[in-house]
Structure 1
Amino acid sequence: MLSPSDASPMIDFTTLPHPNPVTPAERAARIADPGFGKVFTDHMAVVRYSEGKGWYDAQIGPRGTFALDPSAAVLHYAQEIFEGLKAYRHPDGRIALFRADANAARLVASAGRMAMAPVLPPIFLEAVRRIVAIDRDWMPSVPGGTIYLRPFQIATEVFLGVKPSTDYIFGVIASAVGDYFKGETRGVSLWVSKDYTRAAPGGTGAAKCGGNYAASLIALGDATKRGFDQVLFLDAVERRWIEELGGMNIFFVFDDGSLLTPPLTGTILPGITRDTIIKLARAHGLAVREEPYAIDQARADAESGRLVEAFACGTAAVVAPIASMSMDDGSFTIGSGGMGQTTARLRKALVDIQFGHAPDEHGWISYVD
């Protein structure tokens, strides 16, 4: 873990020349319709860590592969964490980051849970800014187009004993992306999993680590085979209380205009979009409760008309309306099954700030250049 002698607040980054960057014509072709997570930019950031030495050898260079020893700790004990954030082009041409400091803080929190040396926020933020600056021409012009950034940290100590690693790599890669879900007004369908859970009390549910996502994949595959868009997880103890989707938090909107989202008790990822929605809703005069909500109660409320909207939210998907929920014992539709008024209002408020179409009254935007 990080010792006080390791806590250098900033290190110098070296920029390495790219021997063969993608040509402007090829780049334009790739970002014309990038989809999500398949089109990667030319460069990456890499910073190394050793116990007693701290973070060192910070580089911005060509995107490439890692050479890892077969006994590297990440391959055996899954010490691995990551983040996800976006860069946005504003109307004046400047490139903006949205709440990047919150991502930096969450990576530190994840590192603490996974017994990893934390990447200090100044290093995180500088790496992100430099990648966006050098690869800004990869910003797609499609509606909703952004550069998606994936900071990550892996354990690299060459050792097969079970203990925290003494060596790490922190990296940042970038991807030109469009919308996560095609058609922002289409409601997504959820399969409610009662066979599998995402996280348990005392586990790693609040950390953004790959193991949480790996645990969700079998349930997501089950949902997909049944014809649903996503999976909804319940709590691991009673299999009753709604927690989150495989990679998104969830909100419910009631006929009195109030919102409810499950509380952060250690099993749910503290989503930055989730926190932003709560703040925006309250700024718009809407009541927001962070309370447990049972799946049976959601069905009863939807059938009675009390529950009028539901939506999922996250960095990748932004805000996606939820049309329906299905289980072995039946299905129910929420509201009209599409984008409700409150969902649309909150989504627009968020996206307008992110893309610079509305003033940032919260101090969430920072500019790369």
Structure 2
Amino acid sequence: MTDIAITRTTNPGKPPADETLTFGNIFTDHMFLMNYDAGHGWHDPRIVPYGPFSLDPACCVLHYGQAVFDGMKAFRGPDGHIRLFRLADHARRLNQSGHFLCMPELDPAMVEQSIRALVEVDQRWVPSLAGTSLYIRPTIIATETFLGVHPSHSYLYYVIVGPVGAYYKEGMNPVRILASDTHVRAVQGGLGAAKTAANYAASLFGAEAAQKAGYTQVLWLDGVERKYLDEVGTMNIMLKIGDEVITPPLNGTILAGITRDSVLTLLRDWGLRVSERPIAIDDVIAAAQAGKLEMWGTGTAAVISPVGELGYKGERYVINDGQTGALTQKLYDTIVGIQYGTAADPHAWARPLGNRLGG
């Protein structure tokens, strides 16, 4: 275990009331920082008061977008214990994203240690109200000063955290999504499988168009035929047609969601028929018109988000009478129960803050 230097703030903030929390606009008193330099490796792990960075105007992340991040949560259960959900898996995925952008690997144990240490220092910011949590954002950015396209020789790894409420204003109520046949987010051989800033920049124009049309998010289709489902802007997508649950395969264009994996594991535990295969938008619409479709998104921010309406080529299709489906609700209740420590956790996904690393 690496020693982490801790400098505590002399001006601590006041955590907001749990019932006032939204998503992503409040941050805690401290942040974690660690630097990388070629020939020296990762060094100087430290927790310091939260504050702005100083970056040179020629810093390569500002010009060439060499940045990756991940997102996870800590939950305070009714028993008062704080639990981190699938931390080791998120640490591994951060490195997988970095690999796509030629970034030096971080020791996954160090990632876990940095996050645990920061959450422990700022644990009074972890809210208690059901539906709230502490969102955790580990990030790696390239910091070398140069103009020219090549991987940086220096990096900054940092972690910021903040208390959050529901990601979507609808909460657990069904959202409306628009399947876009005019905008493309990713193609095979690109960065679709990485959680990188570039992917989110590529999604902005299509997402704005969807929101102007009255939808919450975009449902991206494949970038070649624009026929098969990929993922929603901030979630993996799943649907149930008849007795089969279907989700697009990990073919290099979508993120390997941790919540996606959790859901697939639970569904198989429950003995349901599960397929990771291509699914055409026309087949989805046909199932909706026949009243045989249940659809939901999965992701760290929203956990499980039911889909109540699907737009495509100027038409709107109501799904499951605009109501949350029974399987969708069961998945949400089960995962949230595991996260807060109120349900059985057979796969040991939720680790109390005091647990040692690894395992």
Q: Name the TM-score class by shorter chain.
A: over 0.9
Counterparts of 1:193 and 1:173, CA distance in 2:
33
Alpha-carbon distance, 1:113 to partner: 0.7
Alpha-carbon distance, 1:141 to partner: 2.9
Counterparts of 1:210 and 1:162, CA distance in 2:
17
* Residues 159-204 of structure 1: per-residue CA shift (max 9 Å, x gap): 2221111100000000100111244442111111111111011100
Task: Say if 1:187 and 1:323, in contact at 8 Å, map to a contact too.
Answer: yes
SS at match of 2:134: strand
**Given residue 262 of structure 1, which amino acid in structure 2 is its aligned partner?**
P
Task: Say if 1:13 and 1:58, in contact at 8 Å, map to a contact too.
Answer: yes
Counterparts of 2:172 and 2:301, CA distance in 1:
16
Counterparts of 1:153 and 1:300, CA distance in 2:
43
Alpha-carbon distance, 1:17 to partner: 2.4
Q: 1:17 to 1:163 in 2, by over 3 A?
A: same
SS at match of 2:321: coil
* Residues 207-251 of structure 1: per-residue CA shift (max 9 Å, x gap): 000110111011110011111111111000001011111110000
Which residues in structure 2 correspond to 1:68-87 (within 5 Å)?
68-87=55-74
Task: Say if 1:81 and 1:153, in contact at 8 Å, map to a contact too.
Answer: yes
Alignment match of 1:286 (pick from 243, 264, 272): 272
Alpha-carbon distance, 1:277 to partner: 0.3
Alignment match of 1:345 (pick from 330, 334, 352): 330
The reply on whether 1:157 has 2:144 as its aligned counterpart is yes
Unaligned 5+ segments in structure 1 are 1-9
* Residues 224-281 of structure 1: per-residue CA shift (max 9 Å, x gap): 111111111100000101111111000001222x210000100001100000000011
Alpha-carbon distance, 1:38 to partner: 0.8
* Residues 322-362 of structure 1: per-residue CA shift (max 9 Å, x gap): 01111224121111212100111111111111110112110
SS at match of 2:35: strand
The reply on whether 1:254 has 2:241 as its aligned counterpart is yes
- 1:304 maps to what in 2? 290
Task: Say if 1:142 and 1:178, in contact at 8 Å, map to a contact too.
Answer: no
- 1:210 maps to what in 2? 197
Alpha-carbon distance, 1:92 to partner: 2.2
Alpha-carbon distance, 1:302 to partner: 1.3
Alignment match of 1:11 (pick from 2, 26, 29): 2
- 1:105 maps to what in 2? 92
Counterparts of 1:201 and 1:291, CA distance in 2:
15
Greater mean deviation of Cα atoms: 177-186 or 230-239: 177-186
Alignment match of 2:184 (pick from 186, 197, 218): 197
Task: Say if 2:76 and 2:128, in contact at 8 Å, map to a contact too.
Answer: no
Alpha-carbon distance, 1:20 to partner: 1.0
- 1:238 maps to what in 2? 225
Alignment match of 1:21 (pick from 2, 12, 20): 12
SS at match of 1:311: strand
Counterparts of 1:267 and 1:152, CA distance in 2:
21
TM-score, normalisation: structure 1: 0.93
SS at match of 1:40: coil
- 1:139 maps to what in 2? 126
Alignment match of 1:43 (pick from 15, 27, 30): 30
* Residues 97-151 of structure 1: per-residue CA shift (max 9 Å, x gap): 0100000000111111111112211111011001110111112233211000000
Counterparts of 1:160 and 1:184, CA distance in 2:
44
Task: Say if 2:177 and 2:217, in contact at 8 Å, map to a contact too.
Answer: yes
The reply on whether 1:317 has 2:302 as its aligned counterpart is yes
* Residues 66-91 of structure 1: per-residue CA shift (max 9 Å, x gap): 11111111111111000000001123
SS at match of 2:20: coil
Identity, % of aligned positions: 44
Counterparts of 2:130 and 2:94, CA distance in 1:
29
**Given residue 119 of structure 1, which amino acid in structure 2 is its aligned partner?**
L
Counterparts of 1:83 and 1:265, CA distance in 2:
20
SS at match of 1:55: strand
Which residues in structure 2 correspond to 1:166-181 (within 5 Å)?
166-181=153-168
Q: What value does the CA root-mean-square deviation take over the aligned residues? A: 1.2
- 2:348 maps to what in 1? 363
SS at match of 1:129: helix
Alpha-carbon distance, 1:32 to partner: 4.2
**Given residue 218 of structure 2, which amino acid in structure 1 is its aligned partner?**
V
Task: Say if 1:243 and 1:268, in contact at 8 Å, map to a contact too.
Answer: yes
Unaligned 5+ segments in structure 2 are 355-359
Task: Say if 1:255 and 1:305, in contact at 8 Å, map to a contact too.
Answer: no
* Residues 300-337 of structure 1: per-residue CA shift (max 9 Å, x gap): 11112332x10011000110100111122412111121
**Given residue 199 of structure 2, which amino acid in structure 1 is its aligned partner?**
N
TM-score, normalisation: structure 2: 0.96
Counterparts of 2:260 and 2:10, CA distance in 1:
41
Counterparts of 2:170 and 2:126, CA distance in 1:
20
Counterparts of 2:55 and 2:30, CA distance in 1:
20
Equivalent pairs counted in the alignment come to: 354
Counterparts of 2:2 and 2:63, CA distance in 1:
30
Alpha-carbon distance, 1:365 to partner: 1.8
**Given residue 21 of structure 1, which amino acid in structure 2 is its aligned partner?**
P
Task: Say if 2:12 and 2:29, in contact at 8 Å, map to a contact too.
Answer: yes
SS at match of 1:151: strand
